[in-house]
Amino acid sequence: MCGGPASSLATLTPQRAAERERERAWTLLAERTERQGDRADWRTRMELRTTAVTDFNMDKDRPPTCPTVNTTSQKHKNFVLEPMREKSVKELAGIGLVLGGRLEEKGFTKAKDVLGQFLLLKQEKVAFKCWMRQVCFAGNRQSEDCYRCLREWCDAFL
């Protein structure tokens, strides 16, 4: 029996449906950006990344959540919204006082120094997270937050 489009939609898992919804949203964003001729529609991208996809939870008593969407901190949002200039390394998402102090001891005093290392590692996630672990003993979550912060900043400004 050959399943057509209608039968395949009925058998979608909630996770796959959420993925399709995100893909559809990114496609619409790309089309709108092309029409406007704006290469860096980064505010819209930022809003899209922090917006939760429709919840597939059938329990109506709990607030809607989507386990596959990563949320960003206010620190992350503030960093991505403006140019680098002379920001301290401690302003990067995932970098607090302790990790910031360790990075400063190693010579990475400004966020642009960490950005330089990020670009030297060709924006590769695994390499950057490994470097963060080696240099300042960052945990997985901290290095992931810092990576996402720098990647989104690069998408917006480079």
Q: Give the model confidence (pLDDT) of 14-71 as tens digits.
A: 777 778 887 787 777 667 666 655 544 555 555 555 544 444 444 455 554 444 445 6
112 vs 85: CA distance, rounded Å: 8
Domain ranges of the chain: 12-64, 74-157
Tell me if 150 sits within 8 A of 114, measured CB to CB.
yes
pTM over 0.75: no
37 vs 137: CA distance, rounded Å: 42
Q: Degrees (nearest 5) of the Cα angle 134, 136, 140?
A: 75
Tell me if 102 sits within 8 A of 135, measured CB to CB.
yes
Please give the share of the chain, as a percent, with pLDDT higher than 70: 66
Contacts of 144 (CB under 8 A, 6+ apart): 94, 129
pLDDT of residue 55: 43
Report the pLDDT averaged over residues 62-88. Answer: 73
Q: Which residue has the higher pLDDT, 6 or 139?
A: 139
Beta strands in 14-88 (DSSP E): none
The topology under which CATH files domain 74-157 is DNA polymerase; domain 1 (1.10.150)
